[in-house]
């Protein structure tokens, strides 16, 4: 299993298909059957199914732990369903030898198990039908880490962090103009409650960076409609402070056929996210255009290491435009699981 072409053998190709299909299954499942708690249980079950108990640890963190960590940004999104369908912060650790060990790579996956938009409710009912899969980032990253353990791709310590919650409107839900405080102390003014993915990701990024002290962080999210306008379903978009890291992911995408395209992180995008009169940041720029890049700039405020990359998969997670000819129209693609597995094999060693 350690040969250079490990990922091209017939048996391993079959296993990779199973890993990608596991990600697709998580995304295809109706949201009432894939709540935050059920998602966490499903990950724990898959660890047992693939016989990974000696390699992989799973920790399901509840509301009290989230409050202890002062994850006010994540909790703010979860308030609209906190009693009926409580949030979960799910941690998976692979190849961890010591409790104080620093991860060589941490994945962070957006885990919105259903996105109604919150108080800024989505008006497109057809579009809302697909929002059971707004946890695509969580599904992709969890499948990648469990798959990497199953395939023995690396002996390095890798973890995956997924903040899981619905985004629903009710009397406790986040409102426009509210101010949240993230776990790094940064305050955020809410301009639109449907820009919630970046809010839950913010606290997870702080945890990966400041608490776990990860050496490398890659986050994956169905984050913006803007990336669909930019790249359609041709490629994922990647943004990073470290272009070398971004290009390594792009190379992995070329080799697997799941294209990844690097986009810029200009200072002007950060400036547009910091023009709030009452907080350090706003969760929406208020200016049309470059929405995928202002969202990435927002996330960059919650991770300080340069060895970080953000991947927006909103254009490729579902086969709506027919770009995946080998998959049924409207089905989940599981992209970019194969690319991330290839990246782990080639660069996390």
- Nearest Cα neighbor of 199 from 215, 186, 208 is 186
Tell me the DSSP string of 39-92: HHHHHHHHHHHTT-TTTEEEEEE-HHHHHHTT-HHHHHHHGGGTTTS--EEEEE
Cβ-Cβ contacts under 8 Å for 254 (sequence gap 6 or more)? none
| Class (C level, CATH) for 6-347 | alpha beta
pLDDT of residue 2: 45
pLDDT of residue 136: 98
Q: What is the C-alpha to C-alpha distance for residues 114 and 130, in angstroms, rounded to an integer?
A: 9
240 C-beta neighbours (distance < 10 Å), count? 25
pLDDT of residue 254: 97
In the chain, where are the structural domains located? 6-347
Per-residue pLDDT tens listing for the chain (349 residues): 344 455 567 788 899 999 999 999 999 999 999 999 999 999 999 999 999 999 999 999 999 999 999 999 999 999 999 999 999 999 999 999 999 999 999 999 999 999 999 999 998 887 788 999 999 999 999 999 999 999 999 999 999 999 999 999 999 999 999 999 999 999 999 999 999 999 999 999 999 999 999 999 999 999 999 999 999 999 999 999 999 999 999 999 999 999 999 999 999 999 999 999 999 999 999 888 999 999 999 999 999 999 999 999 999 999 887 677 777 778 899 999 999 999 999 999 8
pLDDT of residue 7: 59
Structure tokens of 287? Answer: 């200016």
pLDDT of residue 321: 74
User: Does the bond joining 336 to the residue before it have cis omega, within 30 degrees of 0?
Assistant: yes
Catalytic positions are 122, 198
What are the backbone angles phi and psi of residue 290, rounded to the nearest 5°?
A: 60, 35
Containing 272, the helix (H) or strand (E) segment is: helix 267-273
């Amino acid at each position: 299993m350690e040969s250079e072409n490990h990922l091209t053998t017939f048996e391993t190709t079959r296993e990779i298909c199973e890993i990608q299909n596991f990600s697709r299954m998580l995304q295809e499942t109706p949201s009432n059957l894939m709540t935050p708690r059920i998602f966490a249980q499903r990950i724990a079950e898959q660890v047992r199914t693939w016989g990974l108990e000696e390699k992989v640890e799973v920790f399901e963190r509840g509301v009290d732990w989230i409050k202890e960590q002062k994850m006010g940004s994540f909790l703010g999104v979860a308030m609209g369903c906190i009693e009926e369908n409580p949030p979960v912060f799910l941690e998976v650790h692979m190849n961890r030898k010591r409790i104080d060990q620093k991860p060589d790579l941490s994945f962070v996956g957006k885990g919105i198990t259903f996105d109604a938009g919150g108080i800024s409710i989505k008006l497109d009912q057809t579009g809302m039908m697909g929002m059971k899969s707004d946890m695509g980032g969580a599904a992709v990253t969890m499948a990648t880490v469990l798959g990497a353990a199953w395939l023995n791709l690396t002996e390095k310590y890798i973890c995956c962090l997924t903040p899981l919650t619905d985004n629903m409107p009710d009397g406790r839900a986040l409102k426009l103009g509210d101010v949240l405080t993230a776990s790094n102390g940064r305050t955020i003014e809410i301009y639109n409650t449907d820009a919630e993915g970046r809010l839950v990701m913010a606290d997870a990024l702080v945890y990966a960076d400041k608490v776990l002290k990860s050496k490398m962080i890659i986050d994956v999210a169905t984050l913006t409609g803007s990336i669909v306008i930019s790249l359609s379903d041709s490629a994922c978009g990647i943004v990073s402070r470290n272009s070398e890291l971004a290009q390594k992911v792009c190379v992995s995408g070329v080799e697997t056929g799941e294209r990844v395209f690097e986009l810029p992180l200009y200072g002007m995008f950060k400036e547009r996210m910091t023009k709030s009169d009452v907080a350090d940041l706003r969760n929406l720029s208020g200016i049309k255009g470059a929405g995928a890049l202002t969202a990435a700039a927002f996330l960059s405020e919650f991770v300080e290491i340069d060895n970080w990359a953000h991947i927006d998969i909103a254009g490729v997670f579902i086969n709506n435009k027919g770009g995946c000819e080998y998959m049924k129209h409207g089905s989940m693609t599981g992209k970019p699981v194969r690319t991330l597995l290839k990246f782990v094999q080639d660069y996390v060693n």
